Structure 1
Amino acid sequence: MPVAPDQLLRLPLLPVLAAQGLSVRRKAQLLPEPIGPREGRDGRGPRLRLLIAGDSSAAGVGAGTQTQALSGCLVSQLAKHYAVEWRLEATTGHTTQDTIDRLQGLNTQFDMAITALGVNDVTRGVTRNRFVERQTKLAELLTGQLGVRRLVVTGVPQMNRFPALPQPLAWVLGRQAARLDQGLQQVAARFPQARHLALDLPDDPALAAPDGYHPSPKAYTLWAQEAARLLRQT
């Protein structure tokens, strides 16, 4: 397999990338995970047990409350049709492996689930092959032990579009994120319960949180609308 241009250029760009990475970390605006419940019930209709799992975006960083975050927006959408019993299992900084470790300890069954992972796998240098291997294990865990019958795997974000990242760091991370997302699409295609959700949001400053790295409440609303649509497809 030919080596991608960004991979060829990583070595000569390493001093610049390292300096930019340190600068981003030093200047980063560290936003907290939003306040609010991480499980609950809402809506009327057929019973629906929902799991939301993943990293800081799944946890809702960028929103002030869980009502404004992915969990609240998604539950609001699904509660129009179901009696939703929902649970949020997400933590800032979590990788796919962290999420596997966390969910293996659950003894609850779910009907539907959505995952949001990949950014921390990118920044920690996880290869595409290892990412595919771990995402496959996660999907097996969700659709096996946890009983999920409909799974939405959110695509790895387009990190080259993150306002907080300077060039060429944004380009390098964006290319790696795209490679991992291609692998994620292949994983989703292997599981009849799974759907890959590619979030191709417009270039609107209002969709980014103040840190330039996480979604805003407006972005969470759009994300939840698309996720609910996929989850409800028969």
Structure 2
Amino acid sequence: MHPLLILPLTPLLLLQGLYVRAVTPRLPEAAGARSGESGGGSELRLLVLGDSAAAGVGVASQQQALAGQLVQRLADSHRVIWQLWAANGRNSRQCLDMLELAAAETFDTVVISLGVNDVTGGVSLDDWLRQQDRLATLLRDKFAAQCILFTPLPPMHYFPALPQPLRWVLGARAKQFNRALQACLRSQPKCRLLSFNLPMQDAFIAEDGFHPSAVTYGLWAGEAAKAITAAD
């Protein structure tokens, strides 16, 4: 999106951003365990990493969230040893800082949810791509990840919590980030971008008009499980 198209809207967008922060319900992260072991079969060490969506905001329990539904699917064929490292509001820079401070561990597969807070926080596309590049390198080198699954940014142009034109602007940036990420990952070993489309209906959005519902987490987990199984 060209900056000259946005410039005249800047005062309105800033006001709308403040309004959304003030009136949108702040839902808690999903309750429940953030690590565990489940299933039988070949061992799979799994890390779910990222922001509020990775943390399960929008549902009550981790069993309904991405990590819980993904582990449930993988446990049919694997002994899944899993961890969830995610927090509401976390952006890519904060995630990198956390990983750089964390002790080295081994994860076979990492599923990543990042980008929405970078879009809403005004991070430039170039800076964001450098962060994704560093994230992939760090996961391979420090955490021995053999399969790194990036989740595309959601269709923010459909989010009911966002008024127009803020919804249009953030949606356009999310699409731009997704296109650039897809191109970036072509040169990144052991990385791929998940691909799934959601019909944006009420059943797919949490009550805050911003986060996934249990239905969406299930679809997301299903696509991730298929990609992980295909990479075995």
Could you say which TM-score interval applies, normalised by the shorter chain? Answer: over 0.9
Match of 1:181 in 2: 178
Q: Match for 1:157: what amino acid?
A: P
- Which one of the candidate residues 6, 11, 27 is aligned to 1:10? 6
Using structure 2 for the length normalisation, give the TM-score. Answer: 0.96
Q: Secondary structure at 1:84's aligned position in 2?
A: strand
Match of 1:101 in 2: 97
Deviations 1:16-64 (A, max 9, x none): 2122111111101000001100000000000100000000000010010
- Which one of the candidate residues 190, 193, 198 is aligned to 2:190? 193
Alignment of 1:1-234 (within 5 A): 4-5=1-2, 7-104=3-100, 105-234=102-231
Q: Match for 1:187: what amino acid?
A: C
8 Å CA contact 2:46, 2:107 repeated in 1: yes
Q: Secondary structure at 1:57's aligned position in 2?
A: coil
8 Å CA contact 2:195, 2:223 repeated in 1: no
- What's the CA shift for 1:124? 1.1
Alignment size in residue pairs: 230
Q: 2:195 and 2:182 mapped to 1: Cα distance?
A: 9
- What's the CA shift for 1:187? 2.6
Q: 1:217 and 1:68 mapped to 2: Cα distance?
A: 6
8 Å CA contact 1:154, 1:199 repeated in 2: no
Q: 1:196 and 1:158 mapped to 2: Cα distance?
A: 15
Structure 2 gaps of 5+ residues are none
Structure 1 gaps of 5+ residues are none
Q: 1:16 and 1:91 mapped to 2: Cα distance?
A: 29
Q: Secondary structure at 2:85's aligned position in 1?
A: strand
- Please tell me the root mean square deviation across aligned C-alpha atoms, in Å: 1.1
* More divergent stretch after superposition (120-129 vs 15-24): 15-24
Q: Secondary structure at 2:186's aligned position in 1?
A: helix
Deviations 1:158-200 (A, max 9, x none): 2111111011000111111111112211232122311101332
Using structure 1 for the length normalisation, give the TM-score. Answer: 0.95
Question: Stretches of 4+ moved more than 3 A in 1?
Answer: none
Q: 1:184 and 1:137 mapped to 2: Cα distance?
A: 13
Q: 1:21 and 1:198 mapped to 2: Cα distance?
A: 29
8 Å CA contact 2:109, 2:148 repeated in 1: yes
Q: Secondary structure at 1:225's aligned position in 2?
A: helix
Q: 2:103 and 2:131 mapped to 1: Cα distance?
A: 18
